[in-house]
Structure 1
Amino acid sequence: MTGKEILYKMKEKVGLGSSDADSGKGKSKMSKNITHGFHMVKGKSHHAMEDYVFAQFKQVEDKELGLFAIFDGHLSHYVPDYLKSHLFDNILNEPDFWTETEKAIRKAYQITDSNILDKAVELGKGGSTAVTAILINCQKLVVANVGDSRAIICKNGVAKQLSVDHEPSTERESIEGRGGFVSNFPGDVPRVDGQLAVARAFGDKSLKKHLSSEPDVAVEFIEDDTEFVILASDGLWKVMSNQEAADSIRQIKDARSAAKHLTEEALIRKSSDDISCIVVRFQ
């Protein structure tokens, strides 16, 4: 066991683990009505928790950014840990972030993945999905993702998906075009080269020729009927639809309590995966 692995095990024993806490909350300084909360639950697998959460409001000169992300690792926790520490910095360091935000996010995703691949000896053979949401001045929400962690927005009681689930079955043509294949064996879900159950991810150096880390990006504007946004790893979405998730927390005004309720509901519905959830409330 390496020194880094020993440190991680020590943190896990005292309850620090992936995001230093399994629950947290915060609020905007620009708008007292906007709050966020998150909650995490380890799944039934025998490996350490591989989900990481990032959730904070950040002042940048005269602007405010809400920065929210779920990083769902596979084969190790090192890649999602790296993403938590570096992805938002890379996005904000792009010189055209304020003028061409979507372009800057795409470029930062690419740069971050290249850096992860360059550090494969240190970070190992694993990878991670990611869904990020950047709230600019409480008005504009920019969501990006690779993999199957998901973001939805609820307006006037109606849930709308903002991210794209990158599944091997729907991206078979592009995977095969890069020389890979999609197989349901071993197991019962389509996998890239029979190994990975998502078609896009950070890392995964051994599969990278057949994988993409190109994010899908969506922009949504916050309006009077905007109630909340949910970001969550696939441990939630495997057992709940977008509308079911929205309906289950619509009457819960505290964002952290809402996030905790979603994780608990997923457990009741027999989700066995790591579950991480962020709720951003606008009312």
Structure 2
Amino acid sequence: MEDFAVAETKFIEGHHMGLFAIYDGHLRHEVAEYLHGNLFTNILKQPIFWTDPRAAISQAYLQTDAYILEKTEELGIGGSTAVTAIVIDNSSAYIANVGDSRAVLCRAGVATQLTVDHDPLSEKAHIQGKGGRVTVLPGDVPRVNGQLAVGRAFGDKNLKTLLRVDPDICCIQIDVTDEFLILASDGLWKVVENQVAVDLVREVKDPKAAAKQLVDYAIEHDSKDDISCVVVRFHQLHSRARPSCF
């Protein structure tokens, strides 16, 4: 198993915080496991987090990747994608991603993808500009130098000169029409369309049960990859409560 998930709440600096993430490792599990234990800590300790969350998240992603590369002897030459969501006082959320793990919002019953899938084709110009290539062989997915099936990632020291790790970041202001957020690794999204996922989750009130239903549905539809999923419900809450999640 190379996937790791985070779903936790904390009270920090007078704010109720929800911290949610999926880390989908490849080659080995160590990089994803390191992110699981450290990325949110690195984000929240940025001095500018409360004044400029976007910049803090971006800096933390870059600094965390630099540390991973320095510790290749311990963490190995593998890598990981990441999608993170930070919910502040159940009023705003900052969603960031590197790679092809995805965040999908249900707003008034309609699926809205909040992240960008960083596959090799979408990153082709950058990869080629750094001297790499994107290969597409019959029956296979596009790959960086014939190896990696994502276009941005943490780690991957042997391909790092070709891979960006700066995240795409979006912020939403949570209102009454925002029902829930789904974070999942690409093992889910390869076989489940965004709207189908939203429709399935809407049928199940408990977020843990909803996440399990999504995973079971993906397996039934022949997903061959590891799958991790987190469902965050925004409005099953009292004013001082935290988001419910898997």
TM-score tier after normalising by the smaller chain length: over 0.9
**SS of match in other structure, 2:85:** strand
Where in structure 2 are the equivalents of 1:1-283 lying within 5 Å?
49-185=1-137, 188-283=140-235
Q: Deviations over 1:203-233 (max 9, x none)?
A: 0000000111010001111101111000000
Q: Deviations over 1:162-203 (max 9, x none)?
A: 111001111111110011100023861110111000000000
Q: Following TM superposition, by how much is the alpha carbon of 1:105 offset from its aligned partner in structure 2, in angstroms?
A: 0.2
State the distance in 1 between where 2:148 and 2:117 align: 14
Over the matched positions of the two proteins, sequence identity in percent amounts to 56
Q: Deviations over 1:48-75 (max 9, x none)?
A: x000011100111311110000000000
State the distance in 2 between where 1:256 and 1:237 align: 18
Q: TM-score, normalised by structure 2?
A: 0.94
Q: Deviations over 1:54-111 (max 9, x none)?
A: 1100111311110000000000000000001110000001000011000000000000
State the distance in 2 between where 1:89 and 1:57 align: 13
State the distance in 1 between where 2:137 and 2:217 align: 31
**SS of match in other structure, 1:236:** helix
Q: Which runs of no fewer than 5 residues in structure 2 stay unpaired? A: 236-246
Residue in 2 that maps onto 1:3: none
With over 3 angstroms needed to count, the CA separation of the structure-2 counterparts of 1:110 and 1:187, relative to structure 1, is: farther
State the distance in 1 between where 2:135 and 2:13 align: 50
Q: Which runs of no fewer than 5 residues in structure 1 stay unpaired? A: 1-48
- Asked whether the equivalents of residues 97 and 104 of structure 1 are also in contact (C-alpha less than 8 Å), the reply is yes
**Matched residue type, 1:80:** A
**SS of match in other structure, 1:132:** strand
Q: TM-score, normalised by structure 1?
A: 0.82
State the distance in 1 between where 2:100 and 2:176 align: 29
State the distance in 2 between where 1:187 and 1:196 align: 15
**Matched residue type, 1:152:** V
Q: Deviations over 1:5-61 (max 9, x none)?
A: xxxxxxxxxxxxxxxxxxxxxxxxxxxxxxxxxxxxxxxxxxxx0000111001113
**Runs of 4+ with >2 A deviation:** none
State the distance in 2 between where 1:61 and 1:214 align: 27
State the distance in 1 between where 2:201 and 2:35 align: 28
- Asked whether the equivalents of residues 186 and 194 of structure 1 are also in contact (C-alpha less than 8 Å), the reply is no
Q: Following TM superposition, by how much is the alpha carbon of 1:248 offset from its aligned partner in structure 2, in angstroms?
A: 1.0
State the distance in 2 between where 1:106 and 1:278 align: 22
Q: Following TM superposition, by how much is the alpha carbon of 1:282 offset from its aligned partner in structure 2, in angstroms?
A: 1.9
With over 3 angstroms needed to count, the CA separation of the structure-2 counterparts of 1:115 and 1:220, relative to structure 1, is: same
